[in-house]
Structure 1
């Protein structure tokens, strides 16, 4: 196990130090400039689009947003941010913000492409994502299958194992030393597996319904806690921001051991949290029933801001204003629990335990939705889907007993490989998404309610957007 973990760690360092960061930053900056800062310029339009009602029977923009937000808002927003601050320092928060702002342009491009190249499955539901646009627009089914396999392994096993582990570890506070040797991890794993089975065997509608209820309620409550603690410690805000910015640009922190530096830590945990450019959210974006692909591209762009600028920042403020110092020994969830405990007492620990359960469980559901969509891309078989659902439920159970370092490293490597394939694809296809954006803005200027016809922008290889 140590040998495997070591190999994954080396692959992880190489991938993030020399490949992925350059690709992510390049893609984000390129699409920010080419779209004329769409993530800022059209933010009000994104807020308006999310409130539109969908056609009867289809998945709404809001439900698709909540599925993608459910996947995004989880371990990364609480335990991931805490690990980034404990290991990389307060400056890593700045690089999370930068990654969110720049990356949201990539999120817009990938989700717009997913809408353009979506298909309708045997159940009458829309499906799509990078595997679909790689096959249809690039004509490379084999590469689409490679992406689909990476996503399935990453989300159904890596990420869901990690979410399950984090939920289980949140109960360690109540047991103390020797927690891992008790029956509690097994019991929690069984409960999580049962809840997961109940939701995912209900299909996309049940996933959308659960996500649209759990995510907004828990996010609002968690943000309110953050606001309360921020107001309580308002006098420390200038010092906190000074620490964030000074550490973000500290030369030693940036270049000393680059693979574990403040920049890499911030970007890695930022990517794990908001998934911008990674190729996951487009799977939810494609499921929405909208009149124009840009609408869902804008909505998914908004999800990045909700995830990082709002929720991750909430966690960062809670930690940095608490007075509790994170370290290699005090990181992830215990760091958050200690920080909240120092501010509001023991009930705060109970609240964080409940929050991580709700956020992480909603992530399990959102992650599974992505994995099933890609399984159906490889082979759309009801029998195969049911077998996969059983395996995915088993993965949730086993994740509750997993080794945390192994699960984090596995998730990071798979996420990095998946993101690399997707970024290359959106670099090649991004011009088409920009044409679609131009069509949307032109119709808006004419006072029309935008309706998309693929042929009008010279795209002829779609299945859905016909005249």
Structure 2
């Protein structure tokens, strides 16, 4: 966690806090990012794929787990991870764009494996990262998300695991077998709409309990530095808050993990920095907006929900919503969790395929990923995944540390691209265009010809 935060602070310093300086510009870039891709994947579609993978059970189960084990103070550290992580996400996306390759079908492939190979000139490091990502995203994360769907539908609607597995198979197979373009078309609508619905619902609870807002914010800040654990059903203490806030923050927004840049690289954009700004805003939306909304819902519900018998991360958020809005909200919450987790499944598949493409460009390898993703999605709904849940943290730690090393080593590429982008904006160019040979501060590019 210290490496994660430290790298984010270093990259914030290198860009003079790009996530703060250009925040308003980020919003305008996102709003104007749906066009310009011709037959490829638009910048907004790439943003939606990564948002689909980000906004999932990490925002519902992850926040609940952070509160139960780390207390309200864990939310403060989730904010810290997100704010510095916005700079990390910016660099991830910019580097993935700079070092992306043409897939030959009108789309692009890229991500940490590619900038490790072409930027750091280490094919071995890139291959190791790619293999870890193929397994983690195509098998582990996919299984965890489908398991969350099964447990939610079982509790909310008494839906059996085989029925849930069948529903996932029917819905997921044609999308995954349709490839990355298919996922882009689905997530472009599904991910933003579900995130918006969830935010609107949370906002309604905030309005109902607006008088509680100052107290809850104060609780979060004071508990972030509390020397002793809290009582009333929530954990606490400084160390517990830091560990759980950092860990669950990473699981939720993925900044630094090295997964989201795989989606960022697929976009057809005029300048790498524009995609970097879009992905940076994705971290803000995920944690500062959606996770904070979840925390407010839970903290507003009070100890009678936190301390209820049988409470756990899987049901705490749903029960907190029901406490505020009534039992009628349990089914809509189950549907929402289903869609959020399902969008994360198909988003994780994209990450897996992009990295398999790095390992081997054979069609057989791509189809192995697609079949494995569908199989893991179905199996995850049918079995108990306590071991897999533990494996997620380990796999993410390995991916994250490997990726953060690359980001620090290659930060000069990101800084040079940002300087080029800002020079063009100051010159009055509405949509800056990136040409590698004309970017004086950029080190020489090897092995990729996209930006020539």
TM-score by length of 1: 0.91
1:428 to 384, 392, 409: 409
**Deviation (angstroms), 1:122:** 3.3
Q: Does 1:373 align with 2:354?
A: yes
For 1:212 and 1:294, the matched residues in 2 are separated by 21
Q: What's the counterpart of residue 15 of structure 2?
A: 35
**Deviation (angstroms), 1:174:** 4.2
Deviation track 1:181-200 (CA, whole Å, cap 9, x = no partner) reads: xx811221122123221101
2:296 to 317, 334, 359: 317
Change (3 A) 1:259 1:191: farther
Q: What's the counterpart of residue 445 of structure 2?
A: 460
Change (3 A) 1:175 1:114: closer
User: Do the aligned residues in 1 keep the contact of 2:227 with 2:237 (CA within 8 Å)?
Assistant: no
Q: Does 1:23 align with 2:3?
A: yes
Q: What's the counterpart of residue 299 of structure 1?
A: 278
**Deviation (angstroms), 1:252:** 3.6
Bigger mean CA offset, 167-176 vs 393-402:
167-176
Change (3 A) 1:258 1:411: farther
- SS of the residue corresponding to residue 59 of structure 1 reads coil
Equivalences for residues 137-156 of structure 1 within 5 A: 137-156=119-138
2:335 to 342, 350, 354: 354
**Deviation (angstroms), 1:295:** 0.5
For 2:130 and 2:310, the matched residues in 1 are separated by 36
For 1:391 and 1:173, the matched residues in 2 are separated by 27
Deviation track 1:223-262 (CA, whole Å, cap 9, x = no partner) reads: 11101111111121222112111111113459x9999711
**Deviation (angstroms), 1:314:** 1.2
Q: What's the counterpart of residue 285 of structure 1?
A: 264
- SS of the residue corresponding to residue 39 of structure 2 reads coil
2:218 to 223, 242, 247: 242
User: Do the aligned residues in 2 keep the contact of 1:454 with 1:465 (CA within 8 Å)?
Assistant: no
Q: What's the counterpart of residue 167 of structure 1?
A: 149
User: Do the aligned residues in 2 keep the contact of 1:106 with 1:277 (CA within 8 Å)?
Assistant: yes
Equivalences for residues 41-80 of structure 1 within 5 A: 41-50=21-30, 51-52=32-33, 53-80=35-62
For 2:385 and 2:421, the matched residues in 1 are separated by 45
For 1:75 and 1:55, the matched residues in 2 are separated by 30
User: Do the aligned residues in 2 keep the contact of 1:452 with 1:465 (CA within 8 Å)?
Assistant: no
Q: Does 1:364 align with 2:345?
A: yes
Deviation track 1:188-216 (CA, whole Å, cap 9, x = no partner) reads: 11221232211011111110010011111
User: Do the aligned residues in 2 keep the contact of 1:85 with 1:326 (CA within 8 Å)?
Assistant: no
Equivalences for residues 227-266 of structure 1 within 5 A: 227-253=203-229, 261-266=240-245
Deviation track 1:137-178 (CA, whole Å, cap 9, x = no partner) reads: 1111111111011111211111111110110001232467xx
For 2:67 and 2:246, the matched residues in 1 are separated by 12
TM-score by length of 2: 0.94
User: Do the aligned residues in 1 keep the contact of 2:92 with 2:261 (CA within 8 Å)?
Assistant: yes
User: Do the aligned residues in 2 keep the contact of 1:189 with 1:398 (CA within 8 Å)?
Assistant: yes
Q: What's the counterpart of residue 219 of structure 1?
A: 195
For 2:297 and 2:251, the matched residues in 1 are separated by 20
User: Do the aligned residues in 1 keep the contact of 2:101 with 2:450 (CA within 8 Å)?
Assistant: no
For 2:137 and 2:272, the matched residues in 1 are separated by 25
- SS of the residue corresponding to residue 250 of structure 1 reads coil
1:112 to 86, 89, 94: 94
Q: CA-atom RMSD, angstroms?
A: 1.9
- SS of the residue corresponding to residue 171 of structure 1 reads helix
